[in-house]
A = this chain, B = another copy of it.
Amino acid sequence: MPRPREFEPEQVLDTAMREFWARGYRATSVDDLVRATGVKPGSLYSAFPGGKHALLMGSLERYSKLVVPQKLGELGDPGASVAQVRAYFDGLVRDLLSPEGRPGCLLVNSAIENAAADPGVAAVVRGHHARLENCFTTALRTARRRGEIPAAVDPVARAKGLVATSQGLMVVGKANPDGEVLRAIVDSAFAGLM
């Protein structure tokens, strides 16, 4: 008997995610979200108990489930090797250089802005890093088995290094979206691998 909802919560979360991504958490006001989604405060708060913070957490979840897999591409598939790791980094650079790529990565931004004061955010970020490391490790192991990289490479240690490089790439790209610099960083990360 209730009146049906006139908006799709997932679509609202999608829009909120884009806002947080572009401007950051504190710089995005609830009014910004109301304007961007077209959903009025009352409806927003009844659909998302917990308000602005709940919308951030929902956005991070959605980012992990939709945006990250898309960026991982074939690196998420079984059988991925160094070539797919390299393709992932090339994709990061391409994104950073595109006009829409300026916001970088929502998870990096949230790690810096919120992780220290918000254990929930920190947990999501840790999960993301673990997932990245896992993909890298698996791919490096595959590559080593196939003899595509030197046997001396330690997949786990090297994967941790690649995680750090990917996060650092986002920081450098924020202040200096210069293709030469970013490509040099990626090249040096793959030294001794390809």
Contact = CB atoms under 8 A, between A and B. Distances in A.
Interface of A: 23-24, 26-27, 102-104, 108-109, 111-113, 115-117, 122, 125-126, 129, 154, 156-158, 160-161, 163-172, 174-176, 181, 184-185, 187-189, 191-192
A114 B84 CA distance: 32
Interface residue SS majority, chain A: helix
Given A112-B108, A113-B112, A164 B192 contact: no
A159 B177 CA distance: 17
A103 B114 CA distance: 11
B160 A181 contact: yes
Given A116-B174, A168-B171, A174-B111, A188 B157 contact: yes
Nearest to A24: B113
Max chain B C-beta neighbours (<10 A), residue from A109, A122, A175: A175
Closest 10 A/B residue pairs (Cβ) = A168-B168, A161-B188, A164-B168, A167-B168, A125-B175, A167-B171, A112-B112, A26-B26, A164-B185, A160-B184
A122 B181 CA distance: 15
